[in-house]
Amino acid sequence: MHIPSLKRIKEVELVAVCDIYGDVAKGVATKYGIEKYYTDYREMFEKEELDGIINTTWPAAHAEVTIEAAKAGINVFVEKPMAVTVEECKEMIKACKENGVRLMVGFMKRFDPGLAWVKGEIDRGELGEVFAVNSWYCDCKIHMKYVRAFISEFIRPSVSSPSTPKPLIDRHLNKLLTHGIHHADLLRWIGGEVKSVTSHYSETPDRNYISTSILEFESGATGYFQLCGAISGDWDEGLVVYGSKGTVRAKIRFPYFKWRSEVTIFKEDLGGYISRLFPFRDMYLAELEHFVQCIIHNKEPLPNGYDGLKAQELIYAIYRSAKEGRKITLS
């Protein structure tokens, strides 16, 4: 999805693509009219004059590639999750700071026009004092069937075969890092820094899962986050904010469908609930446009490496709380 988006940005020239599988790298380069392709990113960094890279390797390689890019003086956009561990996130931030390059993390939901409006309402004080921020991300069986069909159709057998190395982390942490990380960022972006978290995790016999967390923000507000997979129903994702002056509820759409953002607002002076639709915005395109403009104008991107680190810390706190059966306080 990133290459088609980059092709739409007039200031961008795509000069090379890299993949450990040569035929994949060549195929992508041919399809999108990219002149050069590599199987070794270090060789690409050495031979090409790059202003930035889009790091979409698997999470276990995010830190290594980002750090090497920073040493080569290259700005980095890294997909979520920022890395596998909190320590890797810190090393990435350190390398980018020491080498004077920008680091942006792919939390594209910040570029949803409905969620951006909610953030603006809070910052403008329109909701008064915020005392609760709740969010949920519930995947559906229909979507999972689509994903499995997509994988079997497009992923080579050598990549998806049983001989593929097992994940470095367990199932719960993997789900939190791959899906929950978006809401770890949103909860912090909307509600502020998180002080503590208490969580519970369970699985059904058919390996459906549910992770439920209660959060306490440093502001004194509370929060609720639920992550679950393969529900019998439609994709259900959203966020609600309760304030002393009003309430807003945002419905977060499945990102691959071009649906308009929808926010429901309640304020006493409005006399009830009002729904507001926002024009469709391609969040994947918007985040990359932001990254490019930050490079051109020498600005700090948002979300940056620090945002990625704080989301990672929250995810690990959620994971530890469920595993250890106790409240976890964040530093």
At a CB cut-off of 8 Å and minimum separation 6, what does 229 contact? 138, 139, 144, 175, 179, 208, 209
What pLDDT is recorded for position 330? 97
pLDDT tens, residue order, the chain (331 aa): 899 999 999 999 999 999 999 999 999 999 999 999 999 999 999 999 999 999 999 999 999 999 999 999 999 999 999 999 999 999 999 999 999 999 999 999 999 999 999 999 999 999 999 999 999 998 876 666 665 555 444 444 444 434 444 555 788 999 999 999 999 999 999 999 999 999 999 988 777 889 999 999 999 999 999 999 866 777 789 999 999 999 999 999 877 777 888 999 998 787 788 999 999 999 999 999 999 999 999 999 999 999 999 999 999 999 999 999 999 999 8
What pLDDT is recorded for position 148? 57
For the entire predicted model, the pTM comes to: 0.92
Query: CB under 8 Å, gap of 24 or more: what pairs does 261-265 form?
Result: 261/112, 261/113, 261/114, 261/115, 261/117, 262/114, 263/114, 263/117, 263/118
Sign of the alpha-carbon torsion through 129, 227, 85, 58:
negative
Give the pairing type, strands 130-140 and 16-18: unpaired
In angstroms, the CA 204 to CA 229 distance is 11
In angstroms, the CA 75 to CA 294 distance is 10
In angstroms, the CA 192 to CA 133 distance is 10
CATH of domain 109-329: 3.30.360.10
Task: Domain ranges for the chain, please list them.
Answer: 2-106, 109-329
What pLDDT is recorded for position 234? 72
What pLDDT is recorded for position 206? 75
Q: Which CATH architecture has domain 2-106?
A: 3-Layer(aba) Sandwich (3.40)
- Residue 78 one-letter amino acid: V
* Residue pointed to by tokens 């690990």: 316
What pLDDT is recorded for position 165? 46
What pLDDT is recorded for position 271? 78
- Asked whether the beta carbons of 5 and 288 are under 8 A apart, the reply is yes
